[in-house]
Structure 1
Amino acid sequence: MEQIWKKVKTAIKEHMPGHSYRMWIEPMEFVENKGNSVVLSCPNFFSRKRVQDNYASLIEAQFSKTSGQDCFVTIEVSGKKVKKTKSKPEVRQFEPDLQLSIPEINSFQPKGQVLRKDYTFDRFVVGNNNDFAYSAALSLASHREQNQSSLFLLSDTGLGKSHLSQAIGHHILSHYPREHVYYITAEDFTNEMVLAFRNNAIDKFKEKYRRQCDVLLLEDVHFLAGKERTQMELGQALDYLLNDNKKIIFTSCYLPANIPQMNEQLKSRLSGGLISAIEAPDFKTRVKILQKKIKEKGYLIPKNITEYLAGELSENIRQLESGLLGVAAKASLLGVPIDLSLSESVVKNITRKTNTITVELIKQVVCSHYKISASDIVSKSRKKSIVMPRQLAIYLARKYTDQPLQVIGKSFNRYHTTVIHSIAVVEKGLRADKSLSKQLEYLCHKIEAGE
């Protein structure tokens, strides 16, 4: 069976990237087999978890194919058992000094939030809408362009900026495993800084982001609008990182110059690197996205249905995925084939008739629900009973219409910077307040129904 394992490794090598094979599969060793059960070992617990999560099914399938019989694979961590003593019962454990390490990643420790394992470059669908952003991200991650230290990824929600940002993190961890990658949202950065002040640990916080970070992936930088102390601390950290030629990747829905209440020094640092916009995917790219998702999920979707979904669901990638999942789930639950009629029933619950939804309609629905007048919602009043509905209306205007920020602002007698601030406030509220989510869901239903 050990010879079969060698053949299995050779076969697996042809089905995965070379760096992934060298890091995760090559260090594995054959331990023993009992009938159709095979035991393999990994150098350490981190490696074992990675293999089990990502490659176990591939290994098992290849074993079955090569040996000609069903095989079940068990993965252990290599090491020696500690000898039992007379005074204590036998305890099975591994001696830390005998545990092997994955090649060249001894010093790796996860930082910040955990990267999504599916947000990698090979899972990103490239089209005319994002090819430049993809190339810029891959170049920075590969250290090909030494003069490029920062990248600002700009797009609306659901178009792939988070995917590209995290793909950079995955690529660097795979190719330069000794580098410390910190992935964090601007909101979490703010909360971490506040907590550091409260616990008299601000020096450790500064050391972490100024000296211990090699790659900083900072999401949703527009969240920092109006947070002067956080902006100042981030600006100083960026100075240290840029002076040491570290890599910094920002993501946002807005250009640095359009983020309200942002100090000029930080705006300058955000704008100092390459700014790359990601647009909504065209029809051809949407088809490619759906085809890739269909292959990954193992769905059987007719070509005409794939093209129908790509034609109808054009808002963003999340909407596409929602439509695909809805079609597959409904067909499975009802036990019926996937046809055009079923697909239409799913799509009509996802798409919005944006041509019939206007800013004025949104204002009417919001005013009616909160029992305020049309003059109140555009007034200069700072009463909470008016400010909150106004912010919701602005958020919904951005969500349902294609109007520029300046036009939306003018409709509410506000500057476009106020529009950005209102949207950020609502987005933050939705994450923290379930009742606000329910209110927004109700308003969406009324708006889509044209009531």
Structure 2
Amino acid sequence: MSALAEALPASPSAGMVWARTLETIRQDGKTYALTWLERMCALDVREGALVLGVPDRFFRDWVDDHYRALLESTLARVGEGLGRVAYEVVEAPPPSVHLAPTPVTATNAMRPPRLSPRFTFGTFVVADSNQLPAAAAAAVADKPGHHYNPLYIYGGTGLGKTHLLHAVGNLIWERNPAQRVVYLSSEQFTNEYVESVREHRMTEFRRKFRDECDVLLIDDIQFLGKREETQKEFFYTFNTLYEQNKAIVLTSDTVPSEIPGLEDRLRSRFAMGLLTDIREPSYETRVAILQKKAEAEGLGLPDDVAHFIAKHIQKNVRELEGALVKLSAIHSLSRLPVTVEFAAQVLKDILPTHQSVDVESIQREVARYYKVTVEALREDRRHKALAHARQVAMYLSRKLTKSSFPEIASRFNKDHSTVISAVRKVEGLRETDAGLKRELDELEAKLGGH
């Protein structure tokens, strides 16, 4: 389900009742329900019912079917005479998502706007592909402004950059609600800047981002490129915070030097701290992510189903999560067992379609996997690592294409006996070498093999 766009104003009394309701559910140990409940917001109290905002009718029906009893029994305990819930479809993200996971009191501070409590270090799966950025983010959260300032995390879409950004903000705020955490995207920063200029509120804008900010978290900073006036304002904001040892964490899809239209002075400042990248998750990491998310969703996910999904969704953690949410929702509605066949049917519109593969595409994927060049695979170099990659490419070419041994040999500038030898060697080792089997399984998944 896609996130809603902006927060809605809620009745103060409704917001407080909803906060106590969620906190009671959390204290009762029923955190599995919060994955769904925290996506709703408290809108109003009407005719003895707490009115909750929901993103769509499907979500409303699912929550009502599974959690109405829990909601109303909990509400009766904390809701000042309220014992009933009602729903209203809205088009904005729930402000109640921003409520703290700490005990609710009259003086309890509200979670900083836009921060989601779902994204924490506890729910982030650490692996080789993201170990450094995760550790750096944790260090920043532990001592804001003292480590890796600024921290600049870059990588492809859906790999967990935004998750880490929220995790930093959440941990800092949960440890010290007095810390003024500001989280937004560079697009939102630009929009606020433009509106402030148009409405002559620049003093207020600068106070918010400079004087009243202890931690600045900016998502998708690459969109700041080519916006000269916004860049100028951000440059002075950055300098002010940096000079005061205020923590700055930025995410991007690329390194500063490759952001089109970004001023050199910003490039240099973004690189003053730590630049670290998140890479595509490995097969094992994808399985671990699915298992951890399934546990959080309260879904019993068999190992073979986790492996099936991980095999077909390879590059994007967000797509993995989306697949799991859909699987969980349809399972809950249909009550059908979660099997590979069930997953294949439910996720048929999400899973990538099988595409034909040829020797050249196998060479490209193998070269990328083993971090060598395609040209090197075709050369007569006998370096051990390169020879291994070449033999794997030959084996996959024979297994996944209809090419003959002589045809494959011609693509590698070898004779066909060399290809035959390589294929037989890899076939034999696949049965005894667990590491090689894992490599082959992952490569075949990337290439769409079955």
Q: Give TM class, smaller chain.
A: 0.5 to 0.7
Change (3 A) 1:283 1:241: same
One-letter amino acid matched to 1:174:
E
Residues 107 and 275 (structure 1), Cα distance of their counterparts in 2 relative to 1, 3 Å cut: farther
Matches of 1:346 and 1:196 in 2, distance apart?
47
Letter matched to residue 227 of structure 1: R
Structure 1 residues 325, 103: closer, same or farther in 2, change over 3 A? closer
- Taking only aligned residues, the RMSD between alpha carbons, in angstroms, comes to 3.4
**Alpha-carbon deviation of 1:323?**
2.5
For the 8 Å contact 1:107–1:178, the answer to whether it is kept is no
- Give the deviation of 1:145 after TM superposition: 7.8
The aligned counterpart of 2:86 is none
Equivalent residue number for residue 164 of structure 2? 164
After superposition, the Cα gap between the structure-2 partners of 1:188 and 1:126, relative to the gap in structure 1 and judged at 3 Å, is same
Q: Partner of 2:246 in structure 1?
A: 246
1:228 aligns with 2:228: yes
Distance 2:339 2:110 in 1: 48
Instruction: Give secondary structure in 1 for the equivalent of 2:213.
Output: coil
**Alpha-carbon spacing, 1:300–1:160, altered in 2? closer, same or farther (3 Å):** same
AA aligned opposite 2:143:
H
Alpha-carbon offset, residue 350 of structure 1: 2.0
Q: How does 1:44-443 map to 2 (within 5 A)?
A: 49-56=18-25, 58-59=27-28, 74=76, 108=109, 111=112, 113-143=113-143, 146-353=146-353
Distance change in 2, residues 1:315/1:54 (3 Å): farther
Distance, in Å, in 1 between the alignment partners of 2:329 and 2:79 is: 38
Which amino acid is the alignment partner of residue 141 of structure 2? A
Q: 1:346–1:75: structure 2 CA closer, same or farther, 3 Å change rule?
A: closer
Given that 1:193 and 1:230 are in contact with CA atoms closer than 8 Å, whether structure 2 keeps it comes out as yes
Instruction: Quote how far apart the aligned CAs of 1:148 are.
Output: 2.9
> Does the Cα contact within 8 Å between 1:60 and 1:72 map onto a contact in 2?
no
Is contact 2:145–2:246 with CA below 8 Å preserved after alignment?
no
Change (3 A) 1:313 1:235: same
Q: Which runs of 5+ in 1 are unaligned?
A: 1-43, 63-70, 79-100, 359-400, 403-451
* Superposed displacement of residue 244, structure 1: 0.2
How has the CA–CA distance of structure 1 residues 321 and 276 changed in structure 2, closer, same or farther, with 3 Å as cutoff?
same
Q: Over residues 90-125 of structure 1, what are the superposed CA-to-partner deviations in whole Å (9 max), with x where a residue is unaligned?
A: xxxxxxxxxxx98999695655x4211201111111
CA contact 1:45–1:77 (8 Å) conserved in 2: no
Identity of aligned residues (%): 30
Whole-Å separation in 2 of the counterparts to 1:219 and 1:105: 32
Per the TM alignment, residue 126 of structure 1 is displaced from its structure 2 partner at its CA by 1.0
Residues 140 and 147 of structure 1: is their aligned pair in 2 closer, same or farther, counting only changes over 3 Å? closer
Deviation at 1:280? Answer: 1.3
Report if aligned partners of 1:221, 1:251 keep a CA contact under 8 Å in 2.
yes
Contact 2:331–2:337, Cα closer than 8 Å, also in 1: yes
8 A contact 2:146–2:247 mirrored in 1: no
In 2: Cα distance, 1:57 partner to 1:217 partner: 27
TM normalised by structure 2 equals: 0.57
Query: Would the alpha carbon gap of residues 142 and 49 (structure 1) be closer, same or farther in structure 2, given more than 3 Å must change?
Result: farther
Q: Note if contact 1:126-1:134 (Cα within 8 Å) is conserved in structure 2.
A: yes
- What SS does the aligned partner of 1:306 have? helix
Kindly tell me: are residues 61 and 133 of structure 1, through their superposed partners in 2, closer, same or farther at Cα, counting changes over 3 Å? closer
- Letter paired with 1:266: L
TM-superposed deviation, 1:304 = 1.3
Instruction: Identify if the C-alpha distance between structure 1 residues 188 and 354 changes in structure 2 by more than 3 Å, giving closer, same or farther.
Output: farther
- Contact persistence 1:108–1:180 (CA under 8 A): no
Q: Which amino acid aligns with 1:59?
A: D
Paired with 2:301 and 2:236, the residues of 1 have a C-alpha distance of 52
**How far did 1:131 drift?**
1.2
1 CA distance for matches of 2:196 and 2:144? 36
Output one character per residue of 1:396-428: Cα deviation in whole Å (capped at 9) or x when no partner: xxxxx99xxxxxxxxxxxxxxxxxxxxxxxxxx
- Cα distance between partner residues in 2 of 1:302 and 1:245: 48
Aligned counterparts of 2:104 and 2:74: Cα–Cα separation in 1: 27
Partner of 1:378: none
How many Å apart are 1:50 and its aligned residue?
3.9
Q: Which stretches in structure 2 are left out of the alignment for 5+ residues? A: 1-12, 32-72, 81-101, 359-367, 370-450
Classify the secondary structure of the residue corresponding to 2:156: coil
Maintained 8 Å contact 2:186/2:221: yes
When residues 204 and 286 of structure 1 are mapped into structure 2, their CA distance, relative to the original with a 3 A threshold, is same
Distance 1:317 1:205 in 2: 35
Structure 1 pair 56/221, CA: closer, same or farther in 2 (3 Å)? same
CA distance in 1, matches of 2:274, 2:77: 44
Preserved CA contact (<8 Å) 1:48 1:75 = no
- Write the distance in 1 (CA, Å) between the matches of 2:154 and 2:266: 17
Q: Deviations over 1:155-199 (max 9, x none)?
A: 111111101001111101111221100011111111111111111
Q: In the alignment, is the contact (CA less than 8 A) between 1:153 and 1:277 conserved in 2?
A: yes
- Give, as a single letter, the amino acid of the residue that structure 2 aligns with 1:296: A
Judge conservation of contact 2:155–2:253 (CA < 8 Å) in 1: yes
